[in-house]
């Protein structure tokens, strides 16, 4: 589409150069913290409340 000159490796390198490690770490930590909170909620209210969604999306659990 856009520029067909660069490769996947270039994209990874560019991403590594553009995003500074601290920002990436912050984003990861935030996502991990949110996920952790959700896992706590999962027991059992949120889990039960998402029952229809899990069926509908065909995700693991029953």
Partner 1 sequence: MIDRLRSGVAAGALAGLAYGLFTWVVVSPLIHHLEHLASHGGDHAHDAAPAVSETATAVVSAGGGVLWGVLLGAAFGVAYHLFEPALPGGTLKPYVLAGAGFLTVSVAPWTVLPPATPGMEPLYGSSLRVPLYLGLVGIGGLVAATSVLGYARASRTRGRGTGAFVALLPLVALGILSIAAPPTLTGGAAPAGVSAAFRWLVGFSQAGLWALIAVAFSRFDRRVGRPDANSPTPTARGID
- Asked if residue 20 binds partner 1 (CB under 8 A), the reply is no
Check: CB of residue 3 under 8 Å from CB of residue 10: no
CB of 1 to partner 1, least distance (A): 6
Count of other CB atoms within 10 angstroms of residue 41: 13
Structure tokens at 43: 């027991």
Check: CB of residue 55 under 8 Å from CB of residue 61: no
Which x/- pattern over 22-51 shows residues binding partner 1 (rule: CB under 8 A)?
A: ----------------------xxx-xxxx
Residues at the interface with partner 1 (CB under 8 A): 1-4, 6-8, 10-12, 14-15, 18-19, 44-46, 48-53, 55-62
């Amino acid at each position: 589409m856009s520029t067909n000159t660069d490769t996947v490796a270039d994209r990874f390198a560019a991403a590594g150069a553009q995003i500074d490690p601290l920002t990436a770490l912050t984003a990861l930590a935030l996502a991990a913290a949110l996920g952790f909170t959700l896992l706590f909620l999962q027991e059992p209210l949120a889990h039960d409340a998402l029952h229809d969604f899990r069926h509908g999306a065909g995700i693991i659990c029953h």
